[in-house]
Amino acid sequence: MSAFQAPPGMQSPIYGADFSVAIVRLVRKALVFVGRSSRSEYWWGLLGLVLANIAISILQSIILGPAELLSGAFNTGVFSGFGNLATMPLSLLSLALMVPQLALSFRRLHDANYSGWFGLLILLPGLGWIASIALGFLPTVQNTRYETTV
């Protein structure tokens, strides 16, 4: 099995998936850009990614806030070296979460019988969130060209 193929038993989408099932599938298929994901997998997976990014932002605020207050640079807009260094791993983790989101978007588009490359629309500054919402509402199309064989 290649790193870019769905693990055994996870090729087909699960319609009506709950949060825990969708998150497990999101993690196990984080690098899989082929196949399909149902609307429930998409919405629950997107919720999990949003919650992870909120948690990262809170951690960054907890770390960065006191560092900036101690340095006195909080009101000047100049960030201290410590604050930036301390939050760098969290920023990289937040960026890394874009890969599973892109993979999930590609699979959701495949489920609606569209090319996954339209999933790159989520990268548009300011409009990406609109594209993410629109992807979630696309109807499922049975027997698509993106159907995977088990």
Q: What is the pTM of this model?
A: 0.79
Rounded Cα–Cα distance for residues 24 and 34 (Å): 17
Max CA distance (Å), the chain: 61
- pLDDT for the residue 1: 47
> With bands split at pLDDT 50, 70 and 90, how would you rate the model's confidence at 73?
low
C-alpha 65: how far from its chain's center? 26
Label residue 11 exposed, middle or buried (CB < 10 Å: 0-12, 13-18, 19+).
Answer: middle
User: In one letter, which amino acid is 104?
Assistant: L
- pLDDT for the residue 146: 73
- pLDDT for the residue 150: 45
pLDDT 10s digits, 45-72 = 999 999 999 998 888 888 777 666 566 5
Tokens of 98: 């874009």
Q: How far apart are the first and last CA of the chain?
A: 13
Domain ranges of the chain: 19-137
Tokens of 33: 């850009």
